[in-house]
Amino acid sequence: MWPYVIEHPFRIGTYGVMMAVGFLTALWLLTRELRRRNIDVKVAETTVFLGIVGGVVGAKLAYLLTEAEQFRWQDLFSGSGLTWHGGLILAAVFIIVYFASRRLPMPVMLDAVAPMLASGYAFGRIGCQLAGDGDVGIPCTPGTLADKFCMTYPQGIVPSSCTVGDRFYEVCPANAIDPTWLPVHPTPIYESLTNFALFGVLWSLRRTFRRPGYLFAIYLVAAGLLRFGVEFIRVDEGRPDRFLGLRDAQIIALAEVLLGFAVAAWARIRTVPQNQAFGVLTATPTPHREPA
């Protein structure tokens, strides 16, 4: 693994670098997309900025409130302890409020950002893979087809300590899941590949639908199902089970799927203004008036 790009005289982590690549790529693509949709391209800069702030702060707060042993304000500034769904929710709130404050057509804007949500997540998972930070899968069964895809993370930043049951170990015992030596499913790779594929599908479909909102609905359903499924082969890392043995991430993922169907229904019954067909804004024609 390659946790740090450089370590001296200061550390720059590969996860942070890949996050930056993801946000910069999103900015470039969103600028192109807004220009195509006849929307002020400066909106892209603010949207990505709010995504960064909301994503990082939300991910950190969700971890401290739902997974950390105790809430400490100083941990807000640490480089570890980020929870995906917290970042998703707070970033979404920030961006939607911003769109509403600018009086931008919400379905059109949600469709515009949908492909970049998938690509940004994919780049983030590349960062997890390079860092070897623990977002890995369960051990593989030797001799199976899946075993061919498994790997170890010998130089990742996975800590040597771990918890087995209710007991904490300074050094993981042999029966603990320690991916520094035990072959496990590289779930960050799985998620990167599937989300890049989702980006490709969304990007290719972005000119297809006359009714704005469908593209975002497809993203919600597909991304939710992908995240829900991968959680079954990810190590829990101490994350608690909630309702019906599901983790927080799975419950949020299912809610994301349901929200996607709701958005699709909303797009279907909503009357599409003439100047928003296919998500491309056009000037509203001024009614012709006969001279008095």
The whole-number pLDDT of residue 81 equals 64
Of 23, 201, 220, the C-alpha closest to 127 is 23
Q: Is 275 helix (H, G, I), strand (E, B) or coil?
A: helix
The whole-number pLDDT of residue 174 equals 47
- Model confidence over 157-200: pLDDT tens digits? 555 555 555 666 555 554 556 677 778 899 999 999 999 999 99
d(CA 200, CA 221): 15
Question: Do 58 and 87 touch, CB atoms closer than 8 A?
Answer: yes
Question: Do 242 and 248 touch, CB atoms closer than 8 A?
Answer: yes
User: For a pLDDT cut of 90, what percent of the chain falls above it?
Assistant: 56
Neighbours of 146 (CB within 10 A): 12
DSSP per residue, 74-116:
GGGGSS----HHHHHHHHHHHHHHHHHHTT--HHHHHHHHHHH
Neighbours of 151 (CB within 10 A): 17
- Model confidence over 199-251: pLDDT tens digits? 999 999 999 999 999 999 999 999 999 999 999 999 876 666 777 889 888 99
d(CA 251, CA 57): 21
d(CA 156, CA 133): 6
- pLDDT tier, 136 (very low <50, low <70, confident <90, very high otherwise): confident
Give the E-state strand segments of the chain in sequence order: 4-6, 12-13, 162-164, 167-169
The whole-number pLDDT of residue 169 equals 57
The whole-number pLDDT of residue 167 equals 63
| Cα Rg of the chain (Å, integer) | 22
Please, which residues have CB within 8 angstroms of residue 18's CB and are 6 or more apart in sequence?
Answer: 123, 124, 126, 127, 130
Question: Do 241 and 247 touch, CB atoms closer than 8 A?
Answer: yes
d(CA 96, CA 101): 9
Question: Do 190 and 157 touch, CB atoms closer than 8 A?
Answer: no
Query: Token digits for 69?
Result: 């042993």
- pLDDT tier, 291 (very low <50, low <70, confident <90, very high otherwise): low
* Whole-structure pTM value: 0.87
